[in-house]
Amino acid sequence: MGKSVFIAEKPSVAQEFGKALHENFTRRDGFLESDNYIVTWCVGHLVTMSYPEKYDEKLKRWSFDTLPFLPEKFLYEVIPSVEKQFNIVKGVLNREDVETIYVCTDSGREGEYIYRLVEQMAGVHDKKEKRVWIDSQTEEEILKGIRTAKDLSEYNNLSDAAYLRAKEDYLMGINFSRVLTLKYGRNISNYLKTDRTVVSVGRVMTCVLGMIVRREREIRAFVKTPFFRVITKAQIAESSFEAEWRVTEKSRYYQTPYLYKENGFKERKYAEELAAILSEPLPAEGTVESIERKKETKNPPLLYNLAEIQNECSKLFKISPDQTLNIIQELYEKKLVTYPRTDARVLSSAVCKEISKNISGLINYEPVKAFAQDIISGEKFKNIEKTRYCDDKKITDHYAIIPTGQGLGALKSLSQTAARTYEIIVRRFLSIFYPAAVYSRVSLALECKNERFNASFKVLVDEGYLKVAKNSFAKASKQDDPDGNGTDDGKADAALLEALKKCRKNDKLSLVGFDIKEGETSPPKRYNSGSIILAMENAGQLIEDEELRAQIKGSGIGTSATRAEILKKLNNIGYISTNK
């Protein structure tokens, strides 16, 4: 019986497979070997597409005469810097005593492409090839992946998609970069006073640049508009609150050209005029026209995918998407979290059936120990597969990023930012096993001389999942709103709440003054490194053609694996500037 080879994408992953197999391995140059198994590795990509000059030396010179460049057959070559490892892998895969090859590169399109290029260049034939597909690097998951490995041919569609994506990127990049450089390069160089300029074009990169440029044009073309609001201070029992004027059909300003929207004026003089009318005399009397009390619930948010965690880390820690990806990758390799390069924000039904294992492991993680114990002892994890947090239809390659409940010993070796990133992933995960937060909202409308004033108050009644979501490192001001969702509702203390409970329609309140608050419209905000990642993920919404937009609803540009690198490249070539 021949040996089995396990080929991983990088040495660190290969080491984990070696540990999981529990064999007496001998370390050799570029691979590990035991009596039954060989474990080897790539170092990322070992093979790449050849530049045009490899097809014909004349193509090294950029010229309109040689465009477009559309080869009938694409050429590939081993990357010189990793040629030694490629030759080692090639030798191992083609050994006569090797019967089965387990492909253990990253479980995704790019990982598939890495192996298929190696297989192609190494000339692998007459071997059984099986694909190991895993969601974490725990020993249990690795052994399960090996047991359930499918024939590599079942992933041919994924391989075809990877090859097609690479060819499209290659052709667009080479042809458009050359033609635009030949057309505009000299003019740009003259403007920038440089010796030469290359116009870099990429299938995704240029689209992202276009989004950023369009937003910048909107900002620069924006003209601020001042507006003026009238605010009254109302007395109720021993408390007071502010209410804002809004136009109604009864108002003397209804349908006049002086209004800015329904709650302000374009010019200060009209706001002052209204305040003067209502202030004769002071205090004025306001009648409660309506008062509405209702409960509102806020469900735990969906789990993190890579784009969401990149946006969150950008806001919390002021780090780039690329830095966040490196942190999540580190957590993954240390067995702390599941596969990072995912677009899904839900769990699979298969994972939900065994989710108690993940939660049980977190009992040993001090910041959430009590919550994990509470979930396990109360069996709150049961029926999670019947909630919106489980949906097989919304998963392509991998489910959402969640803690494995293992690898906690590695926490000591993490940087502060990495440790905090792990904490927010854990808290988001545990949140889904808790009920919604419950708020009490009181909305009040007052009438004074046929003019209406509105006030609204929102008070937290039951924390629900929010008690889990509060990060140990969060500032006090963020504790009541861990998701960072601001609100325009007024603040209400206990005394005011008690007074509002007794308030009824037609009650009379004293309005002790009318103030004018000036504001101005704001331009669209510039993208930050987190918001641009989310904009890329949801770029389909930006398409103007309604029919086309409907066809690709929910689609984005780039993938969870490439978006951070695209932004890094745009920054490196000087097309954008990222300010932290």
Residue 452 — left, alpha, or beta (φ > 0 → left; ψ -120 to 50 → alpha)? Answer: beta
The pLDDT value recorded for residue 561 is 82
> How would you write 165-209 as a 3-class SS string?
HHHHHHHHHHHHHHHHHHHHHHHHHHHHCCCCCCCCCCCCHHHHH
Q: Does pLDDT of 563 surpass 60?
A: yes
The pLDDT value recorded for residue 210 is 95
Give the pLDDT mean for 182-191. 95
Give the pLDDT mean for 51-77. 96
Band (580; pLDDT cuts 50, 70, 90): low
Q: Retrieve residue 221's tokens.
A: 């073309």
The pLDDT value recorded for residue 483 is 47
Pure H helices in 259-404: 268-278, 306-317, 321-333, 349-352, 355-361, 369-377
pLDDT digits (tens, 9 = 90+) for 489-516: 777 788 888 899 899 999 999 999 999 9
Residue 92's contacts (CB-CB under 8 Å, 6 or more residues apart) are 5, 7, 30, 31, 38, 40, 98
Contact 566, 558 (CB under 8 A): yes
Contact 457, 370 (CB under 8 A): no
pLDDT digits (tens, 9 = 90+) for 347-388: 999 999 999 999 999 999 999 999 999 999 999 999 999 999
Give the pLDDT mean for 284-295. 95
The pLDDT value recorded for residue 392 is 94
Q: Which of 555, 446, 494, 565 is nearest to 237 (CA)?
A: 494
d(CA 143, CA 84): 30
The pLDDT value recorded for residue 550 is 74
Which DSSP helix (H) or strand (E) runs through 31? Answer: strand 31-33
Give the pLDDT mean for 14-30. 96
Band (486; pLDDT cuts 50, 70, 90): very low
d(CA 181, CA 183): 5
Q: Which of 96, 102, 93 is nearest to 148 (CA)?
A: 102
Q: Does pLDDT of 539 surpass 90?
A: no
CA angle 408, 410, 414 (to 5 degrees): 120
Position of tokens 């660190």? Answer: 12
DSSP 240-287: EEEEEEE--TTSTTTT-TTEETTTEESSHHHHHHHHHHHTSSSSEEEE
Q: Which of 189, 101, 96, 205 is nearest to 151 (CA)?
A: 101
d(CA 580, CA 567): 14
Q: Does pLDDT of 76 surpass 60?
A: yes
Q: Does pLDDT of 478 surpass 70?
A: no
The pLDDT value recorded for residue 349 is 95
Q: Which of 563, 498, 547 is nearest to 241 (CA)?
A: 498
Q: What percent of the chain has pLDDT over 70?
A: 97
Contact 1, 96 (CB under 8 A): no
Q: Does pLDDT of 286 surpass 80?
A: yes
d(CA 454, CA 488): 12
Contact 534, 564 (CB under 8 A): no
Q: Does pLDDT of 488 surpass 70?
A: no
Average pLDDT, the chain: 93
Q: What percent of the chain has pLDDT over 90?
A: 88
Q: Does pLDDT of 534 surpass 70?
A: yes
Band (481; pLDDT cuts 50, 70, 90): low
First to last CA, the chain: 58
pLDDT digits (tens, 9 = 90+) for 201-234: 999 999 999 999 999 999 999 999 999 999 999 9
pLDDT digits (tens, 9 = 90+) for 144-175: 999 999 999 999 999 999 999 999 999 999 99
Residue 253's contacts (CB-CB under 8 Å, 6 or more residues apart) are 247, 259, 265, 270, 274
Contact 10, 108 (CB under 8 A): no
HSE toward the beta carbon, residue 106, CA cutoff 13 A: 23
pLDDT digits (tens, 9 = 90+) for 459-476: 999 999 999 999 999 875
Position of tokens 């108050």? Answer: 457
d(CA 337, CA 306): 12
Pure H helices in 406-545: 416-431, 466-469, 476-479, 494-502, 531-537
Give the pLDDT mean for 180-189. 96
Contact 62, 178 (CB under 8 A): yes
Q: Which of 341, 434, 319 is nearest to 384 (CA)?
A: 434
